[in-house]
Amino acid sequence: MTSQQGLQSSIRVLVVEDQAIIREGVCTLLQREPDIRVVGSVGSGEEAIELLEVTKADVVLMDVGLPGISGVEATRKLREDNPGVNVLAFTLFADDQYVLGMLDAGAAGYLFKQSVVDDLVLAIRTVSNGQCFLDPSATRIVIESLRARHERFAPGDGLTDREKDILKLVGQGCTSKEIGQILFLSHKTVENYRARILEKLQARNCYEAVSRAIAQGIIESPLCKAP
């Protein structure tokens, strides 16, 4: 194989990372791989959008927390203008909003910066072939989201047992923080449940939801507060 053929068959990667030390380190590591060629490195989403047109990268290694437009916005724009490009999120953020936001924007993978180098290289090779690559923590978030969506949209489905438990505690005067402590849930998770309860019962607030649930026999009228 000639050197020119090797360049043509290598995976062209554009690194988008706002911290110069991390950006340079990642580029150095990737350049050691015989089948990967770093064709550019930038510190913002705006620069990535401009440089992609020049580099024609196969994979964009995208940080989420960027100055200016976020990694989510940059990913959405890149995918709209270049449907064939594969974006791999590479970040410290493990929050639901970032994982689901990046995947919704069109990212083909989600990897954390704490991952070992072998995982990063494998992830790049995987998404370059049109496949998906998710860190186990990101996979868990996706699965939980799908489960919640099924509960929310399943035809003829009423409140789940967990939603009933939360509604009972709301009726007993418990705050979201207190409910989380009782049921071992995060504050954000409790708030998400409460929002789904309101939607299912078509209530404007939790007090109306409790009243409707009691009237429909979904829960019993609370007689006392939960401990």
DSSP string, 127-169: HHTT--EE-HHHHHHHHHHHHHHHHHHSTT----HHHHHHHHH
pLDDT at 162 over 80: yes
Which residue carries 């990212």 as its tokens? 107
Strand order in the sheet with 11-16: 36-42, 11-16, 59-62, 86-91, 109-112, 133-134
Quick one: CA torsion of 220, 223, 226, 227, rounded to 10 degrees?
-150
Tell me which residue has tokens 């409460």: 194
pTM over 0.95: no
What pLDDT, on the 0 to 100 scale, is given for residue 217?
Answer: 80
Q: Which helix (H) or strand (E) holds 16?
A: strand 11-16
pLDDT of amino acid 151: 55
Q: Which of 100, 91, 87 has the alpha carbon at shortest distance from 126?
A: 87
- Residues linked to residue 133 through DSSP beta bridges, in sequence order: 109
- Domains of the chain with CATH codes: 3-141 (3.40.50.2300), 158-215 (1.10.10.10)
pLDDT (tens digit per residue) in 77-130: 999 999 999 999 999 888 888 899 999 999 999 999 888 889 999 999 999 999
d(CA 116, CA 118): 5
213 near 201, Cβ under 8 Å?
yes
CB burial of residue 174 (10 Å; 0-12, 13-18, 19+): buried
Average pLDDT, the chain: 86
**Helix, coil or strand: residue 14:** strand
Given pLDDT bands bounded at 50, 70 and 90, which one contains residue 48?
Answer: very high
Task: Give the Cβ contact number of residue 226 at 10 Å.
Answer: 14
